[in-house]
Amino acid sequence: MFQDFETFCQLPLHYIIVGGGTAGLAVAARLSEDPEVNVGVIEAGPSALNGEDGGAITVPGRYGETIGSKYDWQFETTPQPGIGGRSLKWPRGRVLGGTSALNFMAWNRGHREDYDAWARLGNKGWGWDDLLPYFRRSETFHQPSAAHQQYYHSSYDDEFNGTSGPLHTTHIKQYGPAHQYWHTALNELGAASSPDSLAGSNCGVWNMVCTINPHRQERSYSASAYYAPVAGRRNLHVLTNATVLNVLIEMTNGEWNATGVRVRYGDEEKDIKTIREVILSAGSIQSPQLLELSGIGQRKVLEAAGIDVKIDNSNIGENLQDHMMTATIFEVSPTLSSRDDILNDTILREAADRAYYASQTGPWTVLPCSVAYCPLAQVASSTEQAQLQITAQNIAQETGRLQDELLGEQFDSTKKVRGQLEYIFDLGNWSTYFKSEPGKKYGTLLQMLQYPFSRGSIHIPAQQDPSRKSSVDDKPIIDPRYYQGPGEIDRDVMALGQRMAKRISQTEPLAKIIQKRVFPPLPEDLASEQSVYEDFVSNYTVTDWHPVGTCAMGGREGAKAGVVDDRLRVYGVRGLRVIDASIMPLQVGAHIQATVYAIAEKGAAMIREDWS
């Protein structure tokens, strides 16, 4: 239940969860199943469960409207030399439900080998077989009808889908007009249709499952799925519009202990104590930020920010990994309609609203779901793949990191094939860099790199005034280092991937609706084609909004390589855990939402085991 500030401060809380987002509310729901404990959640943003979002969150087809709004932290990266000196906007949810309230509702899992790599690093219990029960525990998958399966290619495998979890997942009711050509075109290119992308291998072509409640045709996210059904629990307490300033770290009997948090609510600041643990679920940006503000982090970073050093750990805020994305734009048949038409035409928008609210049908129920994950062998020649493998091996040798050695396996043709590049096709102009011409219709082919060598960091800023300390109000410095250092190999792979994008657009039957490529324009001759692609990738890559790794599990190297152990406990301090995307030691080949929920489910189960 929601609490006022004064009441919340007086509660005897066994667990304080910082961040009522994707992971935080899932952890809170599971921990509060034990009626003997009190669970407190502190969220900086408001709740939108009362309908104040006006449908911007709940109506599926209105995805993207909340980006840049009051529900978004509106973070931004530093200028990135690897992408032409551009700074990129990094949206993150500032609302109950976190980024699960802002995202595109994509629901897929990485490859079995992605999670097995975590276990190979020494993180016991984090392989595919270990995580599968938690993937299934988080969802109720709604099976498509036989007619839907036949008409839309919506296949699934019962063994890998959950049937009684809080989140609703489903194949959407109807698809955009280009979807009918997608499977056949990709099949022609050698990408087989996947029987179930959630079964441990998502290579091939398939339809994205989405986090939608099919009965209500509404977004299913952590606030509506994990919190709302149990909001009446007397031992679950939620404080919204409150900002955690830092974790209280105190020395007791020669050990550092997390004893609570410092919170600001309006103009008031108070310390709130915990009986057992503080759990950071603030995400890949703000979990490392809060650790540093609490005195846990790199000595040089903390001292420059005016923060007293309590635990010196050079890994906090490092190991940042993100998926990178380009958007190739095509002019398509003028008879086709897209979401752009609705957004730019008041009459069409009113008609879409009427259809949705009257019968939960129409354009607001349609999402971009035409997906393919292609291995490098489909994109590059054997010679190019061999050269990339040599480059990757050299990177691993230079860095001495097992993570880089494992990443290099994607280039080894003798290893299990994984989808290195994701492609999604949808009608409409999805690029922020290409301006649509009036009267013309467009389609967009998105291309996303799945296993980046690019490694960045997130840290609190240094202070020029020695009398001032950095605070939570100082936005963290986000430096993904796209295509820099070892990440130069990522640019090479993305440029090669543009050839596959060209082949997709020229393959029937998809080709029959595409008139020409307009961004980037076709090169004048084949000799300059690769140069055009390299320039395009360098100048127009953007984030795919999947940052991970900044509080990574350390595996067998412990605090030398990570921030938390395989029980998600922060090294060097008792009573403090991190449970969110930041604990992932390596990126996965998938949209990360489903993995974050699995992390939350497993993290909550471990806490209950540890205190049982």
**Catalytic residues, which ones?**
546, 591
Using CA atoms, how far residue 517 sits from 350, 532, 545, in Å, is 32, 13, 26
Torsion, Cα 81 87 88 89, to 10 degrees, reads: 160
Q: Tell me whether residue 545 is annotated as binding.
A: yes
The two three-digit tokens of residue 505, written as one number? 């657009």
CB contact set of 33 (below 8 Å; sequence gap of 6+): none
- DSSP one-letter code for 272: E
Q: How far apart are CA 219 and CA 242, in angstroms?
A: 25
Q: Tell me whether residue 588 is annotated as binding.
A: no
Q: How far apart are CA 460 and CA 236, in angstroms?
A: 31
Q: Strand, helix or coil at 605?
A: helix
Q: How far apart are CA 258 and CA 569, in angstroms?
A: 11
Query: Is the CA virtual torsion 393, 395, 401, 405 positive or negative?
Result: negative
Q: Tell me whether residue 238 is annotated as binding.
A: no
Q: How far apart are CA 224 and CA 97, in angstroms?
A: 8
**Closest-CA residue to 517 (of 431, 449, 432, 420):** 431
For 80, phi and psi rounded to 5 degrees?
-110, 110
Provide the CB-side half-sphere exposure for 39 (13 A, CA).
31
Q: How far apart are CA 358 and CA 369, in angstroms?
A: 24
Let me know: does 83 contact 557? Beta carbons within 8 Å. no
Report the relative pairing of strands 421-427 and 441-449 from DSSP bridges: antiparallel
Tokens 């930041």, residue located = 582
Q: How far apart are CA 472 and CA 94, in angstroms?
A: 14
Q: Tell me whether residue 247 is annotated as binding.
A: no
Q: Tell me whether residue 244 is annotated as binding.
A: yes
**Numbered residues of the known binding site:** 95, 99, 244, 545-546
**Numbered residues of the known binding site for FAD:** 95, 99, 244, 545-546
